[in-house]
Structure 1
Amino acid sequence: STPIKLIRTPGMGIKLSGSHKDTLELANHLNKQTPIASIQSANQRRSAMILRLLSNKNTKISELMHEFYVSRATVQKDLVKIESIIQPFELTLYRQGSTGINIRGKERRMRNLMFEMMLEDPSIQILNNLLSENNEHTSGEYLFYGLDLTEDEIVHLIKIIEQKIPTLKQAYTPAFLSHLYIRLLIVLKRHEINQDVSLTEAFKAELMHYEGTYDVAHDLIDALEHYLKKALPEDETTYIQAYVIAYLPGATLALQDAESLEVFIEQLIQSWGQMLGMNFKQDTLLINGLEEHLNAVYLRVKHGIQISNPLLNDILEQYPHTFEVVQKSVEQSNDLFWGKLSTEEQGFLALYLASALERKKEPLKTLLVTDFGRSGQMILIQKIENHCREISILETIKIHDLPAYDLSIYDLILTTHDLHFQGHTPSIVIHNLLNDDALIQLKKAVRSLFNEKNDPKPKTPID
């Protein structure tokens, strides 16, 4: 529909030919049709691909190529990365020949994956703005690329909900409000492909103890049904109710309660720092996360609302020292109110501390011992560091130079020869040129050393 022509020149490539005015008009038109310009990195593209796969029953590689303007090889590489991204959610990527690709697993896990991807999407800031500012003027652009949702459509849903529940925006903090809307958008997109949630009667009965929250969830689903012009299963109401409870806002705390919360957080930060020999006072992500989380916890403790922590067993198994630190810090607070924190609640706090420790993690300071020339050393270093983020090779030496080195500064020695020496630094013998299987075995071998270094036992006695 434009005077621009596509010119193919053998041996040189393809170009668009036209006036400057015509090319600008074409660019503006394309920008309105697709948000691809907002995808600035390979990670963002993979997140968008995941959203596309979760909002369609089957997607073909050719469709991903055309949608994201990348080659088949790039799509194949992205799919390999996507498999590793979805693995912690216990989900599987299925390839079905001509039928296409899809993600399989438990429905709630797929929704949680969607939630994580949407939180990482640049569109989250636009959604926050739409919820907090005047949304009369919209551009019609796509948000959360991969979901086929335009800004106009989301604003339409926001208006329906605001008419149904005028006080919702005032009742929730901005962050929790956007999280609640993301959950609603997930219900919408999964229902479009007939993927509805199924909840146990025990779970639904447990949520009914939270008075008033079912009514809020019912109104939210009613608004979503009005938007869709069709009814949703009853379990979707309970699904949303779970997040109405989870996102209970801290803005409702009285001044005295808020002060008590602030003092408790300061005690936790100080106690954790002393026991682990680390400074957490400048970790704003940790402090803000605790503030948001403990706002809801305060209400649960105050009103005796018990919760279950489905991750507790995993926390106790994977972060025993971290949980031990949290448990002791709660005891040391000598606060009759916060001393009521259940094991389940303390488990959640352990996750916040574990996240803070994760941000402080450092790779193993490694010495590589080999008789290779420079070219052989370089390929070995590249392979190791690309596949094992737990390792940072600080220096490479020949085996005959080893006796002159101070090994105490290293966490690990990697060597292509058996070392016959007595020392405290652990060593691992590796193959001359590591293949993929050997790299996997190396990663497994260093994992315990990495965890030992970065999941430290308390430096001050717990008792």
Structure 2
Amino acid sequence: MNSRIIIILRELMASDKPITSEYLAHVLDVTSRTIREDIKGLDYELRKHGARIKSTRGTGYELIIEDDLDFRQYLNQFVEGQIDGDHLLNSPDARVQYLLKKFLLSEHYLKLDELCDEMHISKSTIQSDLRQVKKLLDKHDITLDKKPNYGLKAIGNEVKLRFAMSEYIFDRSRSASTTIWQDQLTRIADINAEQLEQIWMLLINEIREHKISLSDIAINNLFIHIAIAYKRIKSGHHVSLITQDIDEITKQREYRVAQNIVTAAERILGVTFPTVEVAYIAIHLLGTKMVSQTNMSETTIETIMDQPIQSMTTQILDALEAKMHLGIRHDKELIIGLGLHLKPAINRYKYGMNVRNPMLNDIKQNYTLAFEAGIVAGLVLEELMGVAIDENEIGYIALHIGAAIERKKMQTGPIRCFIVCASGLGSAHLIKYKLKSQFGSRIEILGTTEYYKLQQVPFDKTDFIVSSVPIHQDVPVPVIEVNAILTEKDIVKIEAFVEEDVNSVFEYIREDLLFLSKPLQTKEDVLTFLVKQLQDKVALPNNYLDLVYERESIAPTAYGNLIAIPHPITAQTNVTCLTICTLKKPIDWAGNRVQFVCLLNVEKDSKEDLQNMYEMLGKMVDNPALIQSLTQCTSYREFINTLIALNN
């Protein structure tokens, strides 16, 4: 099965709706005819293994699994081939993964010439791949030591080497079932299946007995790391931790659990784990400790969250409110959830443990706003702790924030407003009764006031202000300016706010900032073009392009489905608008194919609620058929009409 057909199968498996040949053609940069031929071949192969591809005219292709067991066995065989895999080394990513495994498993220096022969590639190709390998290893403080006449060897702290082995040796795109982990571990760690089964049951029993709450992913990670420890101990390698660290770890309850695990594992595996290895396993238990009770009092929370964690949580929430105005600063569940998440995370950061987030792509696609908020939170943590927070951790933080955003939506009752009027109480009451008759129970009018008493308005309980006089003061809620005698136009303005009409987001899509079917060929070309076009119409800081690249360096803004939404980390412009560009052909954007680029520009210090805009962007990210349609639009009107169809 060639790499193109593999990608088609992955796309079909990952989608819960039919996919068109045009979409697949854009992803793979081939013709629709080629895709149709590939689909025929793939369908022929799948029909022998409990599945088929359903083709519906005008709708697209859909994977139908008729025998789940047969299909899963087929996937297992295919993945086995991928692990041994010489035949899949025809892409840079595959070669990089192969080289990572080779260097991390090798006890000796590896010569480039021999690797070239083994992988059937040229010296210039492998040197290019090695740059990416070095970059990935550098995240774990591992270097490739070069020795003349001997070659290259991975060198680094033993703890970091193990974390890297756990990260890169195993194909984590596969099912997380223990049998599959064991298939890989049996070969790589040289442990028989019976021993691995005993280790697995040992972990499950100890965790249950001592009531340690671990996620499935965390248990798998611990399982893998014990197998790696066995292999490395047999090879004469041991973890090094400074005495102070060991002293601190031995005082923890998790250390006693680790001792039990190690004592039993020594019997099963026939090796002796040094004391420092016990501490190492305790770190894993500490690093994934969770407290599930979130319905506790503030006093109880304080006993769990020590002062530094309380302070971090507060600073994160303050930064989110200052920069994004999400209205979740005082969400009690968020305060508790974020604090409890940060407590075990401190151990991970302290010992340099990598965290994996298998939901990362889904979070980025379905919770775009929450993920951006997670980046703001990550920057706060980086500043406070002096460590780099990668996008896997940002994804987990985003889940807490996303839940708070959803809770806010669920809690919305009638929208609450205050009326400000300069022409006397009579006109204020006239506005009040007009609003009541027009909107009924959808609006709760908290009161009326004169302009000079504006600061007495209870802003913490007010969603917006209706004012018949211009308000030049900086107030923390939106202001809708109306006439003293409400006109139809005034009613429409208020209606749009009350209903949170999604069509109101179209005010951010300006005809003079929409560029269709451009022949740009690289990410750099696109970003330079969009910033230049924006600069001609909107006041920008001189380093705006640099600020966009700074955000890209934290986590690429290409979300799959041919779409990228670049932007600076913090609001920089004097107006909120979208600068949109569609491309004649897809381009590479950090490993993703992109044909629709939306440069997101948010007004600095704005108090406007942008939730609807972010929701629309989220819908676009999650709708490949829509992006396909938008990339074919040839006019502003056609573009807007296509978007309107999304929201109706």
Partner in structure 1 of residue 107 of structure 2: 57
In the TM superposition, residue 231 of structure 1 has moved relative to its aligned partner by 1.0
Tell me if the contact between 2:240 and 2:276 (Cα under 8 Å) persists in the aligned partners.
yes
In the TM superposition, residue 169 of structure 1 has moved relative to its aligned partner by 8.5
Judged with a 3 Å threshold, the aligned counterparts in structure 2 of structure 1 residues 256 and 242 are, in CA distance, closer, same or farther, namely: same
Partner in structure 1 of residue 288 of structure 2: 247
Q: Aligned letter for 1:456? A: T
Q: Aligned letter for 2:197? A: V
Partner in structure 2 of residue 407 of structure 1: 536
Tell me if the contact between 2:316 and 2:380 (Cα under 8 Å) persists in the aligned partners.
no
SS at match of 1:195: coil
Alpha-carbon distance between aligned partners in 2 of 1:309 and 1:277, rounded to the nearest angstrom: 26
Partner in structure 2 of residue 101 of structure 1: 152
Alpha-carbon distance between aligned partners in 2 of 1:43 and 1:176, rounded to the nearest angstrom: 26
In the TM superposition, residue 158 of structure 1 has moved relative to its aligned partner by 1.3
In the TM superposition, residue 224 of structure 1 has moved relative to its aligned partner by 3.3
Alpha-carbon distance between aligned partners in 2 of 1:37 and 1:347, rounded to the nearest angstrom: 33
Q: Aligned letter for 1:275? A: A
Q: Residues 289-334 of structure 1: CA distance to partner in whole angstroms, max 9, x if unpaired?
A: x94x74365699xxxxx9796599xxxxxx998689689xxxxxxx
Alpha-carbon distance between aligned partners in 2 of 1:45 and 1:218, rounded to the nearest angstrom: 39
Which runs of structure 2 are paired with 1:123-272 in the superposition (5 Å)? 123=174, 125-126=175-176, 129-130=177-178, 141-142=183-184, 154-162=196-204, 167=209, 171-210=213-252, 212-251=253-292, 253=293, 255-256=295-296, 272=319
Structure with the larger RCO, 1 or 2 (CA within 8 Å, 6+ apart): 1
Which runs of structure 2 are paired with 1:340-359 in the superposition (5 Å)? none
Tell me if the contact between 2:185 and 2:227 (Cα under 8 Å) persists in the aligned partners.
no
Alpha-carbon distance between aligned partners in 2 of 1:295 and 1:28, rounded to the nearest angstrom: 38
Alpha-carbon distance between aligned partners in 2 of 1:410 and 1:144, rounded to the nearest angstrom: 61
> Does 1:394 find its partner at 2:529?
yes
Tell me if the contact between 1:326 and 1:349 (Cα under 8 Å) persists in the aligned partners.
no
In the alignment, which of 263, 276, 295 is matched to residue 323 of structure 2?
Answer: 276
Tell me if the contact between 1:247 and 1:296 (Cα under 8 Å) persists in the aligned partners.
no
Judged with a 3 Å threshold, the aligned counterparts in structure 2 of structure 1 residues 277 and 231 are, in CA distance, closer, same or farther, namely: same
Partner in structure 2 of residue 455 of structure 1: 569
Q: Residues 334-382 of structure 1: CA distance to partner in whole angstroms, max 9, x if unpaired?
A: xxxxxxxxx669998999569979xxxxxxxxxxxxxxxxxxxx9xx76
Alpha-carbon distance between aligned partners in 1 of 2:313 and 2:244, rounded to the nearest angstrom: 37
Tell me if the contact between 1:93 and 1:102 (Cα under 8 Å) persists in the aligned partners.
yes
Judged with a 3 Å threshold, the aligned counterparts in structure 2 of structure 1 residues 202 and 158 are, in CA distance, closer, same or farther, namely: same
Alpha-carbon distance between aligned partners in 1 of 2:531 and 2:199, rounded to the nearest angstrom: 60
Alpha-carbon distance between aligned partners in 2 of 1:172 and 1:29, rounded to the nearest angstrom: 26
RMSD (CA atoms): 5.9
> Does 1:295 find its partner at 2:336?
no
Partner in structure 2 of residue 11 of structure 1: none
In the TM superposition, residue 113 of structure 1 has moved relative to its aligned partner by 2.5
Q: Residues 79-118 of structure 1: CA distance to partner in whole angstroms, max 9, x if unpaired?
A: 2210121223332112435534311122222233334436
Alpha-carbon distance between aligned partners in 1 of 2:75 and 2:396, rounded to the nearest angstrom: 42
Alpha-carbon distance between aligned partners in 2 of 1:278 and 1:147, rounded to the nearest angstrom: 50
Alpha-carbon distance between aligned partners in 1 of 2:197 and 2:100, rounded to the nearest angstrom: 24
Tell me if the contact between 2:259 and 2:278 (Cα under 8 Å) persists in the aligned partners.
yes
Q: Residues 424-445 of structure 1: CA distance to partner in whole angstroms, max 9, x if unpaired?
A: 6469xxxxxxxxxxxxxxxxxx
In the TM superposition, residue 182 of structure 1 has moved relative to its aligned partner by 3.2
Alpha-carbon distance between aligned partners in 2 of 1:240 and 1:392, rounded to the nearest angstrom: 46
In the TM superposition, residue 204 of structure 1 has moved relative to its aligned partner by 0.9
Q: Aligned letter for 2:217? A: A
Which runs of structure 2 are paired with 1:22-33 in the superposition (5 Å)? none
Judged with a 3 Å threshold, the aligned counterparts in structure 2 of structure 1 residues 408 and 32 are, in CA distance, closer, same or farther, namely: closer
Judged with a 3 Å threshold, the aligned counterparts in structure 2 of structure 1 residues 218 and 35 are, in CA distance, closer, same or farther, namely: farther
How many residues were matched structurally? 332
In the TM superposition, residue 197 of structure 1 has moved relative to its aligned partner by 0.8
In the TM superposition, residue 392 of structure 1 has moved relative to its aligned partner by 1.9
Judged with a 3 Å threshold, the aligned counterparts in structure 2 of structure 1 residues 42 and 216 are, in CA distance, closer, same or farther, namely: farther
Judged with a 3 Å threshold, the aligned counterparts in structure 2 of structure 1 residues 118 and 32 are, in CA distance, closer, same or farther, namely: closer
Judged with a 3 Å threshold, the aligned counterparts in structure 2 of structure 1 residues 280 and 139 are, in CA distance, closer, same or farther, namely: same
In the TM superposition, residue 203 of structure 1 has moved relative to its aligned partner by 0.8
Judged with a 3 Å threshold, the aligned counterparts in structure 2 of structure 1 residues 198 and 141 are, in CA distance, closer, same or farther, namely: closer
Of the two, which has the highest radius of gyration?
A: 2
In the TM superposition, residue 56 of structure 1 has moved relative to its aligned partner by 2.0
Alpha-carbon distance between aligned partners in 2 of 1:120 and 1:257, rounded to the nearest angstrom: 43
- Give identity over the alignment, percent: 14
Alpha-carbon distance between aligned partners in 2 of 1:171 and 1:320, rounded to the nearest angstrom: 27
Tell me if the contact between 2:547 and 2:569 (Cα under 8 Å) persists in the aligned partners.
no
Alpha-carbon distance between aligned partners in 2 of 1:105 and 1:118, rounded to the nearest angstrom: 16
In the alignment, which of 95, 109, 133 is matched to residue 82 of structure 1?
Answer: 133
Q: Residues 384-404 of structure 1: CA distance to partner in whole angstroms, max 9, x if unpaired?
A: x47x69x7233799xxxx9xx
Structure 1: which 5+ residue stretches go unaligned? 1-19, 282-286, 301-305, 313-318, 328-342, 358-377, 412-423, 428-445
Partner in structure 2 of residue 43 of structure 1: 93
Partner in structure 1 of residue 71 of structure 2: none
Judged with a 3 Å threshold, the aligned counterparts in structure 2 of structure 1 residues 219 and 65 are, in CA distance, closer, same or farther, namely: farther
Structure 2: which 5+ residue stretches go unaligned? 1-44, 50-73, 303-309, 353-373, 399-518, 552-566, 573-603, 607-648
Alpha-carbon distance between aligned partners in 2 of 1:153 and 1:34, rounded to the nearest angstrom: 24
Alpha-carbon distance between aligned partners in 1 of 2:274 and 2:158, rounded to the nearest angstrom: 14
Judged with a 3 Å threshold, the aligned counterparts in structure 2 of structure 1 residues 410 and 191 are, in CA distance, closer, same or farther, namely: farther
Alpha-carbon distance between aligned partners in 2 of 1:460 and 1:28, rounded to the nearest angstrom: 51
Alpha-carbon distance between aligned partners in 2 of 1:88 and 1:194, rounded to the nearest angstrom: 25
Judged with a 3 Å threshold, the aligned counterparts in structure 2 of structure 1 residues 112 and 260 are, in CA distance, closer, same or farther, namely: same
